[in-house]
Amino acid sequence: MTGVFSHGRLRLYLLKLLDDGPKHGYELIRLLEDRFLGLYAPSAGTIYPRLQRLEAEGLVTHTAAGGRKTYEITAAGRAELRQRADELATLESDIAASVEDLSALAGEIRSEVRGSVRDLKRELREATRQTRQSRQNRWEPTFASAPPFPPPPAEPGPHPDLLAEFDQRLAAFAGEVGRLARSRRFSDTQLRTAIRLLDGALDGLRRLLR
């Protein structure tokens, strides 16, 4: 912002900001940053020497509290603002134009960045696709010339002792159910429920042993 604030114009603008009320140096920096929509902020090394010069000229004064200096415009400072009112109006106009230019530039940069990001993503996707294709092309001849995989070994049949135990348990189950059915009189509802239970057990065994 050296163009906007050349020839002592920053000094004039500091007087203008202090004319709105006392402020410490950090507040002045933040106000300038806000005025330029965050696109420009003067450094402390730019602001404080000018405040010291204004104070030496009697245009501002300061009070210290809590290790912080608060600056306030003096009557002489307000008199200078009145004398340079036209210059201040021109400065305000130049600042507005500069902010507009900076905003347009920031918009162009954002558009370029978004475009660059899209291009980069597209290039990364293409590079990934080419890498996968290259790997596939490299391994396909190897797989084509390799001998077929041997068939998996057949699962061993059930152990004879376990198969014999299963037959015994199944026979015992059938015998116990038959004995219970003959030992007493069941209602139709009970028999239907028993049949559903038997069907469910049989279906479960089919799924397990299939």
For 144-157, how does the pLDDT look when each residue is reduced to its tens digit (9 = 90+)? 665 665 666 655 65
133-155 as b/e: b if 16+ CB within 10 A: eeeeeeeeeeeeeeeeeeeeeee
User: How confident is the model at residue 42, as a pLDDT?
Assistant: 87
pLDDT digits (tens, 9 = 90+) for 177-197: 666 665 555 566 666 677 777
Least confident piece of the model among 100-104, 138-142, 170-174: 138-142
Question: 48 near 110, Cβ under 8 Å?
Answer: no
Q: How many CB atoms lie within 10 A of CB 210?
A: 5
User: How confident is the model at residue 86, as a pLDDT?
Assistant: 94
Least confident piece of the model among 59-68, 84-93, 138-147: 138-147
Higher pLDDT, 196 or 105: 196
Residue 75 pLDDT exceeds 80: yes
Residue-range domains of the chain with CATH: 1-144 (1.10.10.10), 160-209 (no CATH)
What pTM was computed for the model? Answer: 0.49
In which order are the strands placed within the sheet that holds 68-73? 23-24, 68-73, 60-65
> Alpha carbon of 41 to those of 24, 47, 87, 131, 134: distances in Å?
15, 10, 22, 46, 51
Residue 1 pLDDT exceeds 60: no
User: How confident is the model at residue 104, as a pLDDT?
Assistant: 74
d(CA 152, CA 146) in angstroms, rounded, equals 17
Q: Which residue has the tokens 């291009």?
A: 119
Q: Which two tokens stand for residue 162?
A: 């376990």
Q: How confident is the prediction for the chain on average, in pLDDT?
A: 78
Calculate mean pLDDT across residues 92-102.
84
User: How confident is the model at residue 161, as a pLDDT?
Assistant: 75
Confidence of residue 110 (pLDDT cuts 50, 70, 90): low
User: How confident is the model at residue 20, as a pLDDT?
Assistant: 94
pLDDT digits (tens, 9 = 90+) for 113-136: 666 556 655 665 666 666 667 666
User: How confident is the model at residue 199, as a pLDDT?
Assistant: 74
pLDDT digits (tens, 9 = 90+) for 23-45: 999 999 999 988 887 777 889 99
